[in-house]
């Protein structure tokens, strides 16, 4: 293990962090979709989101402190750092929801390791739902916005993540475009995973078929060898019996 202390920390905090991420996502969903919230309720939910986001930031700092090669760790996790720092800027507050993707995706990967189809479906659903929330939060109050309802946000997410891109819905704000760029990259990556999964499935089936054919051939050879051994044993027994009969047969005198 490259970083055993970080691995031990992961085992200890993975489920608590997953719970925090789920709370974050639920509160953020409520805040975005419930437009009738009072200013006080909206502010209270914002406090909860900030607290969870800060705790996720503390987790990142702990990982850096536990790393044996801190510069190398930071270099390999620059994206995590950006995801935590960018939402500090007021115009990018909606990007806070992206923070939970890494935590939930890590749990999906651990829970469904070896079950690629389940993992891909779970990841696509998570990324799509989070992106729809983020782009709706960024776009709906902007002048000239084409994404003003959650249904439109979901439609935009589906066309974007599938790389179809009809162009009937598109972000007009900088924050929305950042969400769109992230979603495009995620869509390409997911298509790559699906393609690799299909190729891996074909290779696994070919190897399994070849191994089965080899096993059957080997079993047939063993069975044939066993049959030949039995036939030879029977031939030896018949030959011995004939020899005994030949010895016991009386010799007739010649005329």
CB atoms within 10 A of CB 70: 12
Q: Which pLDDT belongs to residue 168? A: 84
Closest CA relative to residue 84, chosen from 48, 50, 109, 107: 50
pLDDT tops 70 at residue 248: no
| Token pair of 241 as six digits | 């019996």
What is the per-residue pLDDT across 71-95, written as a single tens digit (0 to 9) for each? 888 887 776 776 666 655 444 455 5
CA–CA dist 5, 60 (Å, integer): 13
Give residue for tokens 């200890």. 12
Confidence of residue 192 (pLDDT cuts 50, 70, 90): confident
Please indicate whether residue 142 or residue 253 has the higher confidence score (pLDDT).
142
What is the per-residue pLDDT across 225-242, written as a single tens digit (0 to 9) for each? 777 787 777 777 777 776
Beta-sheet strands, E only, within 131-252: none
Q: Which pLDDT belongs to residue 42? A: 85
Q: Which pLDDT belongs to residue 107? A: 59
Residue range 209-224: average pLDDT? 69
Confidence of residue 48 (pLDDT cuts 50, 70, 90): confident
HSE-CB at 231 with a 13 A cutoff on CA atoms is 6
- Radius of gyration, CA atoms only, the chain: 34
pLDDT tops 70 at residue 98: no
pLDDT tops 60 at residue 106: yes
pLDDT tops 70 at residue 117: no
| Token pair of 95 as six digits | 């990007």
Residue range 13-35: average pLDDT? 84
Closest CA relative to residue 56, chosen from 92, 108, 18, 94: 18
Please indicate whether residue 140 or residue 163 has the higher confidence score (pLDDT).
140
pLDDT tops 80 at residue 247: no
Confidence of residue 109 (pLDDT cuts 50, 70, 90): low
DSSP state at residue 94: G
pLDDT tops 60 at residue 253: no
């Amino acid at each position: 293990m490259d970083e055993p202390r970080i691995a031990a920390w992961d085992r200890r905090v993975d489920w608590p962090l997953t719970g925090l991420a789920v709370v974050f996502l639920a509160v953020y969903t409520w805040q975005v979709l419930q437009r009738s919230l009072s200013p006080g309720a909206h502010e209270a939910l914002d406090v909860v989101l900030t607290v969870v986001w800060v705790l996720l930031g503390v987790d990142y700092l702990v990982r850096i402190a536990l790393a044996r090669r801190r510069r190398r760790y930071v270099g390999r996790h620059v994206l995590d750092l950006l995801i935590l720092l960018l939402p500090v800027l007021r115009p990018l507050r909606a990007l806070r929801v992206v923070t939970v993707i890494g935590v939930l995706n890590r749990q999906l990967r651990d829970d469904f390791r070896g079950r690629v189809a389940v993992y891909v479906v779970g990841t696509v659903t998570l990324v799509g739902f989070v992106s729809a929330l983020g782009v709706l939060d960024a776009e709906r109050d902007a002048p000239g916005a084409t994404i003003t309802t959650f249904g439109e946000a979901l439609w935009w997410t589906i066309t974007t993540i599938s790389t179809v891109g009809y162009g009937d819905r598109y972000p007009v704000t900088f924050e929305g475009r950042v969400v769109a760029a992230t979603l495009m990259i995620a869509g390409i990556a997911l298509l790559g995973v699906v393609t690799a999964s299909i190729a891996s499935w074909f290779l696994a089936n070919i190897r399994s078929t070849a191994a089965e054919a080899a096993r059957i051939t080997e079993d047939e050879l063993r069975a044939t060898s066993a049959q030949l051994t039995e036939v030879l044993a029977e031939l030896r027994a018949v030959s011995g019996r004939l020899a005994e009969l030949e010895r016991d047969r009386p010799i007739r005198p010649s005329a």
